[in-house]
Amino acid sequence: MAAGRHDDAGTGSEGAFGGGGSAPQLPSQWHREADIVVIGSGATGLPAAIVAREAGASVILVEAEADIGGHAITSGGNVPLGGGTSVQKKYGIEDSPDLLFRDLTDWSVVGANGFPDCRYNDREIIRAFADNSAAAFEWLLAHGVVFVDKAPDELGGNSVGNSVPREMHCAVMDWPMVQTGAPADPAVRKTRSSGNGLMRPLEAAARKAEVEILLEHRMTRIYRQMPNAGPVLGIAVDHKGAPLNIRARKGVIIATGGSTGNIEFRRMFDPRLTEEYCGLAGMPWSDQDASGELAAMAIGAALWGLYNQTGEFGANVTKAGLIGCQYNYRNLQWMPGSRVFARARATGLRVADWQDVILVNMLGRRFYDETGGQYPANNYNSIDPYIQGSWRNIKNVKYNPNNFLNAALAGIDDGHNGGGPIWAIFDQDAVAREGWRPTPPQVDIAAGFFFSANRLADLAEKIVMKYQRVAMPPHNLEATVARYNSFVETGVDEDFGKPAPRYKIATPPFYAAWATPVVHDTRAGLRINAQCQVVDLYGRVIPGLYCGGESAGGFSQHGLARAVCQGYIAGRAAAAAPPVEAMLA
C-alpha cells in the first residue's frame, strides 16, 4: 500500500479544542473505505456492525487485539435487558419501556451508603434504552445467543432497576472459554453463564453477514473535515507498525470499551486511582485505554455523566477477589490454557473466607475490617417496599456504609494520591484451611505479586516491587500481627470491628499476596444523544460520529445491556444516515 503523509496516522491531538477555522489535518490517501467503520469488537461494536450490515451498509470493523470480544467476552454474560421481553412475558413478569425508564431515572433510589444509582442518568439516553431494550433482546435471540433457560432474576445485577427482575444469562454452550482455552464441562454448558456465550455467537453472525473484521488494527485518529467542524470522514489505524487510513462514507462508531486502563484519564474522576491499581477487570485480554474518548475529544467531543464514574455505587472499583496475582478481579480467573495466560502469569488464590487473612498497607498496618465488601448497587427488590419516585424509598433503606474501599485507597500520608499496594498476610495454617497451593502458576512470584518467608520480619523486607514506593518496616508487620493475634484470643477486634477474629497468624512460612483493589466499570464517557450520535462541547451533534457502551456517558448501569442496546441503536442510525458527500455539498 502507498504511504501517506507523515501525519496521516497521528493522534490528531493538535488543535483538539481549537477554533473551527483551523487548517484541516486530512490524509493524502484513503487505503480502504466502507459505509460504516466500527472501532472495537465488544458488546457494542459487534451488534452495531451486524445491524448496519443487515440494513444494507458495507462495514469494516477494526479491533486492536488479536481476537474479538473486548471486555464483554471475559464477563459473566449477565444481560439485564427488559421492558417486556419474550422471556419476561413467558414467566409472567410485567414490564414495559415506561416502567424501565422510570426505574432507571428514579431520584429516590439510593444504596445502603447513601449514594444514588440513577439520579444523574441522562433521561434522553435512558428513554432510548428503555424503548429499544426488549427489541435488542429479541435481536440477540435471533442472532444465535442462547440464554440459560430460567426466569429473569437479579443475579449479577448492578443498577438495573428495583421494580421487576430483568437479568438474563448467556449460556456458554460449546464455545471455548477465553479464561481456560477449553469448552465448559458438558454438564453445565446450558446452565453456566459466560460472556463467551454472548460474543462468539455474535462473531459468527457478523462473519455470516460479511462484516469485514480487521484484527490487530489499532485506531490512532478520527478524521474530521475541520478540527472542530464538519462531518467525520474516517479513521487512521496502525497495523503492526503500518499506517492505514480507512474512509467512512456514512459514519464511524466508537465502541472502544471505556477508559479504566488509562491512568491519567481515570484520575480525572478519582485522583486516587494511580498506577498501582493495575489489576484491571478484563485485562490482559483487552485494555480499556480511552482511545475512543481521546480521539473524539481531539475533534471537539464532550464528556458526559461524570458523577456516575465518581459516585460510590456499583462496580467502578471492587475489592480483590483473587490474591497473589496482578489480574485479581473476583469474577474472572485466568487459567494456564488461556491464550493470554503468558501475560496473566498466575491464576491467583481465591479467598473463600476473609477470616483467613489480614490486609495491610505499604507500611504493614491494618486499615479496616477484612470482611468488608463492595460499594452497593440498586437491583430488583433492593428496596422493599418500593414505590417509584416516593420520598419514602430513602427512609426504607437501612443505612449501612461500607468504607472498605475508601480505607484501602486512603494512602499512608506520604503526600501521594494513591493508596498504594494492599497485601494479604497469612500463614501456613490458612493455606491448609483454604486449600491453596502458594506456588506458580497459582501465584506470581517473578513479577513481585507474591512473597514468602519463615519470619515476619524477613517477609516485610522481601516486599520489593515497582508499586511498593516505600519499604515496609519489619517491626510494623510484626507488631500488626501480634496485635491481631491478641484479638483472636479475646474474640474482639478493638481496631476495626472484624467480627470475632478466628485464626492467629503464627505458623511459618508466612505469606504476602497482592490484594490491591481492582478498577472495573467505566460509567462516564462521550456525550451522546438518543441516536448514539456524539455531541460536542457546544451541544452540537458531530455529523457521522456515533458511540455506545462503556465509552459513552450518561448511563450509570453496569455492563452488557447498555452496550448491546446502544450498539443496536447506533448501527441502525448510522446505516440510515445520508452519505458524507451530502453533508459536504
Tell me 452's DSSP state.
E
CB contact at 8 A, 301 and 541: no
Residue 47, Cβ density class (10 Å: 0-12 exposed, 13-18 middle, ≥19 buried): buried
Contacts of 368 (CB under 8 A, 6+ apart): 359, 403, 404, 407, 408, 496
Q: Name the CATH topology of 32-74+212-311+521-584.
A: FAD/NAD(P)-binding domain (3.50.50)
Tell me 221's DSSP state.
E
Q: What whole-number percentage of the chain has pLDDT above 90? A: 91
Tell me 240's DSSP state.
T
Does the pLDDT of residue 459 top 70, yes or no? yes
CB contact at 8 A, 340 and 118: no
Write down the residue that cell numbers 474472572 correspond to.
332
Distance CA 157, CA 260 (A): 20
- Mean pLDDT over 475-482 rounds to 98
- Mean pLDDT over 472-496 rounds to 98
- Mean pLDDT over 456-485 rounds to 98
CB contact at 8 A, 116 and 313: yes
Distance CA 256, CA 544 (A): 17
The answer to whether the bond into 440 is cis (omega within 30° of 0) is no
Per-residue pLDDT at 193: 96
Q: Which of 327, 332, 324, 325 is nearest to 357 (CA)?
A: 324
Q: Grid coordinates standing for 347?
A: 491464576
Q: What is the DSSP string of 93-129?
A: ----HHHHHHHTT-TT-B-TTS-BSSTT--HHHHHHH
Work out the end-to-end distance of the chain between its first and last CA atoms, rounded to an integer number of angstroms.
Answer: 30
Side chain identity, residue 21 = G
How many CA atoms within 13 Å lie on the side-chain side of 261? Answer: 21
Per-residue pLDDT at 474: 98
CATH of domain 320-371+423-514: 3.90.700.10
pLDDT in tens, 492-547: 999 999 999 999 999 999 999 999 999 999 999 999 999 999 999 999 999 999 99
- Mean pLDDT over 11-16 rounds to 38
Does the pLDDT of residue 563 top 70, yes or no? yes
Does the pLDDT of residue 482 top 50, yes or no? yes
Backbone angles phi and psi of 235, in degrees to 5: -140, 160
Going by pLDDT thresholds of 50, 70 and 90, the confidence category of residue 294 is very high
Per-residue pLDDT at 559: 83
Going by pLDDT thresholds of 50, 70 and 90, the confidence category of residue 10 is very low
Which region holds residue 102: left if phi is over 0, alpha if psi is between -120 and 50, else beta?
A: alpha
CB contact at 8 A, 577 and 250: yes
pLDDT in tens, 376-422: 999 999 999 999 999 999 988 888 888 999 999 999 999 999 999 99
The answer to whether the bond into 47 is cis (omega within 30° of 0) is no
Per-residue pLDDT at 585: 58
Per-residue pLDDT at 20: 42
Per-residue pLDDT at 2: 35
- Mean pLDDT over 258-265 rounds to 97
What does pTM read for this prediction?
0.95
- Mean pLDDT over 104-114 rounds to 95
Q: What is the DSSP string of 49-62?
A: HHHHHHTT--EEEE
- Mean pLDDT over 346-366 rounds to 98
Does the pLDDT of residue 4 top 60, yes or no? no
Does the pLDDT of residue 169 top 70, yes or no? yes
Domain ranges of the chain: 32-74+212-311+521-584, 320-371+423-514
Mean pLDDT in the chain?
Answer: 94
